[in-house]
């Protein structure tokens, strides 16, 4: 298993399949269908950005997971730099491997290297939210807010 910064060549059918699986596991699917073109554009934009990063977990040549991160100024303090998770997904077959933890650790390292003051991760509201919350707490994170969404 290796964690590498994604290249444009990684934005392929396999990556789109994982992205589709991820999207279809969220409540967003109730609002709009997964769009390959939009997702590919997002991945390419993240790869090209100086303030974002996309890491992929590769098992041999197969991509088994990914994490996207972005830097932003704090909303009320320009001296505060936050590293935010954009998305994080590991295929169900690879969740017992080290892929997820290694992606997480690479994101932490990137945030430190980018001189972020804090890092922010989310947990999708699903049947695994309690397990994910325990992992974050064990890693020294604290819950700071809950998000709510409705269709307009």
Name the band, by pLDDT with cuts 50, 70 and 90, for residue 82.
very high
- Where is 5: in which H helix or E strand? strand 2-5
CA-nearest of 106, 113, 122, 12 to 54 is 106
What pTM value is reported for the model? Answer: 0.91
Q: What is the pLDDT of residues 95-130, one digit of tens each?
A: 889 999 999 999 999 999 999 999 998 877 666 666
Name the band, by pLDDT with cuts 50, 70 and 90, for residue 150.
confident
């Amino acid at each position: 298993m290796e964690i590498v910064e994604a290249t444009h060549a990684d934005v392929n059918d396999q990556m789109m399949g994982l992205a589709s699986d991820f999207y279809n596991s969220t409540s967003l699917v109730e609002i709009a269908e997964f769009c390959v073109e939009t997702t590919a554009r997002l991945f390419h934009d993240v790869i090209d950005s100086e303030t974002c990063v996309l890491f992929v977990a590769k098992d041999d040549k197969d991509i088994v997971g990914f994490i996207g991160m972005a830097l932003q100024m704090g909303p009320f303090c320009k001296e505060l730099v936050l590293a935010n998770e954009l998305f994080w997904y590991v295929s169900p077959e690879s969740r017992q491997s080290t892929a997820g933890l290694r992606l997480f650790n690479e994101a932490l390292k990137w945030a430190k290297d980018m001189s972020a003051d804090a890092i922010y991760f989310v947990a999708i509201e699903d049947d695994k939210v309690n397990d994910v919350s325990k992992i974050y707490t064990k890693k020294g994170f604290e819950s700071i807010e809950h998000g709510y969404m409705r269709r307009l």
